[in-house]
Amino acid sequence: MHDRHSPVTAANALTARWAQACAGGSVAMAGAGAWPLLAYLAAAATGPARAELLDAVGTDAATASQAARTVLSIMDGSPAVRSALGLWSRPDLPVRPTWTATLPSGMFGELTSDLAADQRRLDRWAHERTGGLIPTMPLQLTDDTLLVLAMALTVRTTWLRPFTEDIGGFDTGPWAERETHVLSRSTRVLDRARIADTPAGPLTLLRVMGTGGIDVHLLLGEESMKPAHVLTAGIDVLAGRHPSTGADVLGVGEPGPGLTVRLVRDHTPDDALNVTVPRSYAHLYKESGGRLPRSTVSDLFHKGRPTRETLEVFLRACDVPRKQWQACHEE
DSSP string, 134-162: S-S-S----TT--EEEEEEEEE---BSS-
The pLDDT tens digits for 61-79 are 889 999 999 999 999 899 9
**Angstrom distance (rounded) from CA 91 to CA 89:** 6
Residue of 160, 129, 164, 152 whose CA lies nearest to 283:
164
Segment among 68-82, 113-127, 189-203, 288-302 with least mean pLDDT: 288-302
Pairing outcome for strands 81-89 and 108-110: parallel
Is 164 strand, coil or helix? Answer: strand
For residues 189 and 273, is the Cβ–Cβ distance under 8 A?
yes
Label residue 331 by pLDDT band (50, 70, 90). low
Across 171-180, 224-233, 261-270, 316-325, the highest mean pLDDT is recorded for 224-233
Q: State the pLDDT at residue 296.
A: 44
Q: d(Cα 15, Cα 22) in Å, to the nearest integer?
A: 11
Mean pLDDT of the chain: 84
- The predicted-structure confidence for 231-286, as pLDDT tens digits, reads as follows 999 999 999 999 999 999 999 999 999 999 999 888 877 899 999 888 765 545 45
The answer to whether the pTM exceeds 0.85 is: no
